[in-house]
Amino acid sequence: AQLDRYCVFGNPIQHSKSPAIHAMFASQTGQTLEYSARLAPLDSFVPSVQQFIAEGGKGANVTVPFKLEAYALANHLSERAAIAGAVNTLTFSDGVIVGDNTDGVGLVRDITENAKTAIVGRRILLLGAGGAARGALLPLLAQQPASLTIANRTISKAEDLVQLAHATKTYRGEIEAKTWQDLNGSFDVIINATSASLQSEVPPIPYTVFADTSFAYDMMYSDGQTSFNRYAEQAGARTRDGLGMLLEQAAEAFFIWRGVRPQTAPLFAHFRTKGSV
C-alpha cells in the first residue's frame, strides 16, 4: 500500500524544519508516513493543494504566506481557526478539506507545560496583532488570564482582536487594546508576537511594563538571543523563544492526523544543539 503522504506548503520553503520534525515524530511513534516540503508558486497555492490531494495527500501544513488562503480554501474550520482567520493545518478526507490552526495551542502548551509558567489568573501583555497573535487569541483566553492587553503599532488591528475576544463569550477577565505609547502599569507575562525581532528591533514599549514580569516569550526562534528577549532579561524576566512553539504546533498537527501525540522534548534538544535556526 502507498505510504500516507503529508507536506508543508510555503514560499520560500527550503529552510523549513517541518519535514525533519515530522520524520522524527513518525519514527518516535512508530508511524509510517511521508512528509515533504512543497514550494507553492505565490499565485498558485490552491492548484498546488488540489494537485497534492489528487496525488493522495492526507494532510498539509501551511506556512508563510499562505495561511489566509488556506483559511479561505477549507470547507470546515475548527473554532480556533475560525477566530484566527488563518489555517496552518489542513486535513483531506473524503473530498472535504478541514482547516485548523495549531499555532496558538502550540504557544500555550510551550509556555504552560514546557516552561512551566501559568497563564491562569495572570496579567498578560500580547505585543502584535498579526497572524500569529490572532492564532494565539483563543488558546490564551481559554487559560483564563486575569487580563489580556493587546498592544500593536496599528491600533485598529489590536481593537479587532478585542472584538473577536468579546465574541467568544467564554472569557471572563478583562481585555483591552493599546498603542505602544498608551501602555502603562506592569504585566506578569509578556508575549512578543510582532515580527520586529526579525529586524533586530524591539517594539517601543515603556520599560516599566516589565516591573513585575517573571516571564517573557518571543515567538521568533533564534540560536542567538532575540533582541526582545535580551531587553526582557535586562529587566529581570526569564525568557524563552519560539522553538518550542514551532515543535508544539507540529505535534498538535501530527496528533490531528495520526491520533498519537509525539514527544517534543527530544526534538527540542536536537534542534537547539544543532544550531539549525
85 binds ligand NDP (CB under 6 A): no
Contact with ligand NDP (CB under 6 A): which of 82, 87, 129, 175? Answer: 129
| Residues annotated in a binding site for NADP(+) | 79, 128-132, 152-157, 219, 242
Q: 266 φ, ψ to 5°?
A: -65, -35
**Residue in the shown chain whose Cβ atom is closest to ligand NDP:** 130
Q: What is the DSSP-derived secondary structure letter of residue 17?
A: -
Q: % helix / strand / coil in the chain, to the nearest 5? A: 40, 20, 35
Residue 193 binds ligand NDP, judged by CB under 6 A: yes
Q: Which residues contact 75 (CB under 8 A, 6 or more apart)?
A: 96, 97, 98
Compute CA distances 216 → 21, 109, 117, 268, whole Å.
Answer: 25, 15, 10, 19
276 binds ligand NDP (CB under 6 A): no
Could you say which of 25, 77, 82, 103 contacts ligand NDP (CB under 6 A)? 103
- With contact defined as beta carbons under 8 Å apart, do 218 and 192 qualify? yes
| Identity of the residue, 162 or 245, whose beta carbon is nearer to ligand NDP in the bound complex | 245
**Omega of the bond leading into 206 within 30 degrees of 0 (cis):** no
Residue 75, Cβ neighbours under 10 Å: how many?
Answer: 9
Residue (118 or 277) nearer to ligand NDP, CB? 277
Q: How far apart are CA 15 and CA 276, in angstroms?
A: 9
Q: Is 88 exposed, middle or buried (0-12, 13-18, 19+ CB in 10 A)?
A: buried
Q: By C-beta, is 113 or 201 nearer to ligand NDP?
A: 201
Shortest distance (Å) from residue 59 CB to ligand NDP: 18
Query: Does position 60 bind ligand NDP by CB under 6 A?
Result: no
Rounded to whole angstroms, the Cα distance separating 114 from 171 reads: 24
Q: Is 153 in the site for ligand NDP (CB under 6 A)?
A: yes
- 131: contact with ligand NDP by CB under 6 A: yes
List the end-to-end C-alpha distance of the chain, in Å, as a whole number.
Answer: 36
Q: How far is the CB of 80 from ligand NDP (least distance, A)?
A: 14
Does 116 qualify as catalytic in the annotation?
A: no
Q: Are 73 and 20 in contact (CB under 8 A)?
A: no
Does position 125 bind ligand NDP by CB under 6 A? no
Residues of this chain, 219-238, that bind ligand NDP according to CB under 6 A: 219-221
* 196 lies in the binding site for ligand NDP (CB under 6 A): yes
Shortest reach from residue 134's CB to ligand NDP, in Å: 7
Interface with ligand NDP includes 132 (CB under 6 A)? yes
Q: Which of 67, 116, 178, 274 is catalytic?
A: 67
- Residues with a known catalytic role: 67
By the criterion CB under 6 A, which residues form the site for ligand NDP? Answer: 103, 128-133, 152-154, 157, 193-199, 201, 203, 219-221, 242, 245-246, 249
